[in-house]
Chains A and B, each alone.
Chain A
Amino acid sequence: MEAWIRARVTLALTLFALLFFVSRSSPPLQFVISNAERRIDLSSHIINVHLTLKVENTGTRPASEVVLALTPTEVDHLAMVDALAIKGKRKKTTSVRLEVKPTELPDAPPIDAKYFTIYLADPLNSGESTTLEVLYVFTHFLEPFPAEIAQSESQLVFYHDTALILSPYHIKQQTTFIKTPSTKVESFIRVEPTKRVGTEIKYGPYEDCPPYSISPIHVHFENNSPFAVVEELVQEIEISHWGNIQVTGHYTLVHAGARHKGVFSRVDYQSRQFSNGASSFRYLLARLPARVHSVYYRDEIGNISSSHLRTNSLKSELEIEPRYPLFGGWKATFVIGYGLPLQDFLFESSDDKRYLNFTFGCPLIGMVVDKLTIKVVLPEGSTDPSPVVPFPVEHRLEAKYSSLDVIGRTVVVLEKKNFVPMHNSHFQVYYTFNPIFMLAEPLMLASAFFMFFVACVAYIHIDLSIRK
Chain B
Amino acid sequence: MATMPASASDLLKSFKLKTKQQELLIRVSILCLVYILAFITRLFSVLRYESMIHEFDPYFNYRTTLYLTENGFYDFWNWFDYESWYPLGRIVGGTLYPGLMVTAVLIYRILRFLRFAVHIREVCVLTAPFFASNTTLVAYFFGKEIWDSGAGLVAAILIAICPGYISRSVAGSYDNEGVAIFALLFTFYVFVKAVNTGSLAWSLASAFGYFYMVSAWGGYVFIINLIPLYVLVLLITGRYSMRLYVAYNCMYILGMLLAMQIRFVGFQHVQSGEHMAAMGVFFLMQVFYFLDWVKHMLSDTKLFQAFLRITVTCAVAVGGIALGLGMVSGYISPWTGRFYSLLDPTYAKDHIPIIASVSEHQPTAWSSFMFDFHILLFLFPAGLYFCFKRLSDATIFIVMYGLTSMYFAGVMVRLILVATPAVCLISAIAVSATVKNLTVLLRSKNKVVQTGSTKGSGGSKSSSKALLDQSQPFQKNGAIALLFGAFYLLSRYATHCTWVTSEAYSSPSIVLAARGAHGNRVIFDDYREAYFWLRQNTPQDAKVMSWWDYGYQITAMGNRTVIVDNNTWNNTHIATVGRAMSSYEDEAIEIIRSLDVDYVLVVFGGVTGYSSDDINKFLWMVRIGGGVFPVIKEPDYLVNGEYRVDKGAAPKMLNCLMYKLCYYRFGEMLTEYGKPPGYDRARGVEIGNKDVKLEHLEEAFTTSNWIVRIYRVKPPNNRW
For the complex, is A301 an interface residue (Cβ under 8 Å from B)?
Answer: yes
A403 to B117, Cβ gap below 8 A?
yes
Knowing A303-B50, A403-B117, the reply to whether A263 touches B699 (Cβ < 8 A) is yes
> For the complex, what is the distance from the CA of A401 to the CA of B529, rounded to whole Å?
33
- A331-B536 CB under 8 A given contacts A263-B698, A403-B116: yes
A324/B115 contact (C-beta < 8 A), A266-B702, A302-B50 known? no
Alpha-carbon distance A273/B150, docked complex (angstroms):
67
Alpha-carbon distance between A333 and B557 when the two chains are bound, in angstroms = 13
A269 vs B511: C-alpha distance in the bound complex, in angstroms? 23
| Complex contacts, A405 vs chain B, CB 8 Å | 115
Q: Which residues of A296-350 have CB atoms within 8 Å of chain B's CB atoms?
A: 298-306, 323-324, 329-333
Which of B115, B668, B706 counts the most chain A CB atoms within 10 A? B115
Determine whether B477 belongs to the interface, using a CB cutoff of 8 Å to chain A. no
A264 within 8 A of partner (CB): yes
Contact B700 A304 (CB under 8 A): no
B557 contacts which chain A residues (CB < 8 A)? 301
Report which of A262, A266, A305, A330 forms a contact with B537, defined as CB distance below 8 A. Answer: A330
User: Is B117's CB under 8 angstroms from A323's CB?
Assistant: no
Q: Which of B532, B669, B698 is A324 in contact with, Cβ under 8 Å? A: B532
In the complex, what distance in Å separates the CA atom of A402 from the CA atom of B700? 42
Q: What's the least CB distance linking B427 to chain A, in Å?
A: 33
Report if A422 contacts B (CB, 8 A).
no
- The answer to whether residues A305 and B523 also contact, given A323-B528, A331-B537 and a CB cut-off of 8 A, is yes
Please give, as numbers and ranges, the residues of chain B lying within 8 Å of A403 by CB-CB distance: 115-117
B669 touches A267 (CB 8 A): yes
Q: Tell yes or no: B701 within 8 A of A by CB.
A: yes
Contact between A323 and B669, CB atoms less than 8 A apart: no
Contact A302 B528 (CB under 8 A): yes
Contact between chains at A267 and B523 (CB < 8 Å): no
- B340 CB → nearest A CB, Å: 39
The reply to whether A262 and B528 form a contact with Cβ atoms under 8 Å apart is: no
CA of A403 to CA of B49 in the docked complex: distance in angstroms?
25
Cα separation A9 to B702 with both chains bound (whole Å):
46
Contacts of B665 in A (CB 8 A): 265, 267
Q: Which of B513-546 contact A (CB under 8 A)?
A: 523, 525, 528-529, 531-533, 535-537
A299 close to B532 (CB less than 8 A) = yes
Chain A residues near B702 (CB-CB < 8 A): 264-266
- Determine the distance from Cα of A300 to Cα of B531 in the docked complex, in whole angstroms: 11
What residues on A are CB-neighbors of B52 within 8 Å? 302-303
Interfacial chain A residues near B525, Cβ < 8 Å? 304-306, 323
A257 to chain B, nearest CB (A): 15
Inter-chain CA distance A405–B115, complex, in Å, is 6
Contact for B536 among A265, A266, A298, A330, CB less than 8 A: A330
Count, chain A residues at interface, CB 8 A: 29
A406 within 8 A of B: yes
User: Counting CB contacts under 8 A, is A451 at the interface?
Assistant: no
Min C-beta distance of B709 to chain A, whole Å: 8
Q: Inside 8 A of B704's CB, which chain A residues have their CB?
A: 266, 324
Give the Cβ gap from A227 to chain B, nearest Cβ, in Å: 16
Judge whether B699 and A324 touch: CB under 8 Å: no
How many angstroms between the C-alpha atoms of A72 and B698 in the bound complex? 43
A323 near B115: Cβ-Cβ < 8 Å: no
- Cβ A401 vs Cβ B703 within 8 A: no
Measured CB to CB, the nearest residue on chain B to A265 is B699
Task: Find out whether the CB atom of A402 lies under 8 angstroms from the CB atom of B117.
Answer: yes
Complex CA gap A406/B50 in Å reads 30
CB within 8 Å for A404 and B116 given contacts A324-B701, A330-B536:
yes
Q: Which residues of A contact B537 (CB under 8 A)?
A: 329-331
Bound form: Cα–Cα A306–B704 in Å? 12
From the candidates A263, A300, A306, A401, name the one contacting B700 in the complex (CB within 8 A): A263
Contacts A301-B531, A330-B537 given; does A264 touch B701 at CB 8 Å: yes
CB distance from A310 to the nearest CB of B (A): 18
Q: How far apart are B720's CB and chain A's nearest CB, in angstroms?
A: 21
**Distance of A267 Cα from B664 Cα, bound (Å):** 10
Of the candidates B116, B531, B706, the one whose C-beta lies within 8 Å of that of A266 is: B706
Name the residue of chain B whose CB is nearest to the CB of A327. B537
Q: How far is the CB of A30 from chain B (nearest CB, A)?
A: 55
A residues in contact with B536, CB < 8 Å: 330-333
Query: Beyond A265-B665, A267-B665, is A404–B529 a contact (Cβ under 8 Å)?
Result: no
Q: How far is B668's CA from A299's CA once the two chains are assembled, in angstroms?
A: 34
- Look across to chain B and name the residue whose beta carbon is closest to the beta carbon of A298: B50
Q: Are B701 and A401 in contact (CB under 8 A)?
A: no
| CA–CA, A304 and B527, complex, Å | 12
Complex interface bits, B241-281 against A, C-beta within 8 A gives 1, otherwise 0: 00000000000000000000000000000000000000000
Query: Which of chain B's residues has its CB closest to A329's CB?
Result: B537
Cα-based distance from A90 to B55 in the complex (angstroms): 70
Considering the chains assembled together, what is the distance between the CA atoms of A331 and B115 in angstroms?
35
CB of B116 within 8 A of CB of A323, answer no
Shortest distance in angstroms between A281's beta carbon and chain B's nearest beta carbon?
15
Interface positions, chain B 549-564, Cβ under 8 Å from A, are 557
Task: Give bound CA distance, A263 to B712, whole Å.
Answer: 9
CA distance A300 to B703 in the complex (A): 18
Given contacts A263-B698, A265-B665, A406-B115, A324 and B50 within 8 Å (CB-CB): no
CB closest chain-A residue, reference B522: A305
Q: Mark B664-706, 1 if CB is under 8 A from A, else 0.
A: 0100110000000000000000000000000000111111101
| A323/B533 in contact, CB under 8 A | yes
**8 A Cβ contacts from A20-76 to B:** none
B23 → chain A, closest Cβ, in Å? 16
The residue on A at minimum CB distance from B533 is A324
- Across the interface, name the chain A residue whose C-beta is closest to B49: A303
Within A223-271, the residues touching B (CB, 8 Å) are: 262-267, 271
Q: With the chains together, A330 CA to B706 CA distance in Å?
A: 19
Tell me the bound Cα distance from A405 to B535 in angstroms. 35
Give chain A nearest CB distance to B428 CB in angstroms. Answer: 28
Tell me the minimal C-beta distance from A443 to chain B in angstroms: 14
Q: How far is the CA of A404 from the CA of B49 in the complex (A)?
A: 28
State A406–B704 Cα separation when bound (angstroms): 47
Given known A-B contacts A323-B533, A324-B532, A330-B537, A401 and B115 have beta carbons under 8 A apart: yes
Q: How far is the CB of A306 from chain B (nearest CB, A)?
A: 8
Residues of chain B lying within 8 A (CB to CB) of residue A298: 50
CB nearest to A322 among chain B residues:
B532
Contact A264 B700 (CB under 8 A): yes
Instruction: Chain B residues near A301: list those with CB within 8 A.
Output: 528, 531-532, 535, 557
Closest Cβ of chain A to B637, distance in Å, is 26
Given A264-B700, A324-B701, A402-B117, 20 extra CB contacts under 8 A: A263-B698, A264-B701, A266-B703, A301-B531, A301-B557, A304-B525, A323-B528, A323-B529, A323-B532, A323-B533, A324-B532, A324-B533, A330-B536, A331-B537, A401-B115, A401-B117, A403-B115, A403-B116, A403-B117, A404-B115
6 A–B pairs (Cβ distance < 8 Å), ordered by A: A263-B698, A265-B702, A266-B703, A302-B50, A324-B533, A330-B533
A residues bordering B, Cβ < 8 Å?
Answer: 262-267, 271, 298-306, 323-324, 329-333, 401-406
B residues bordering A, Cβ < 8 Å?
49-50, 52, 115-117, 511, 523, 525, 528-529, 531-533, 535-537, 557, 665, 668-669, 698-704, 706
- The list of the 4 closest CB pairs from A to B, nearest first, reads A266-B702, A303-B50, A331-B536, A323-B529
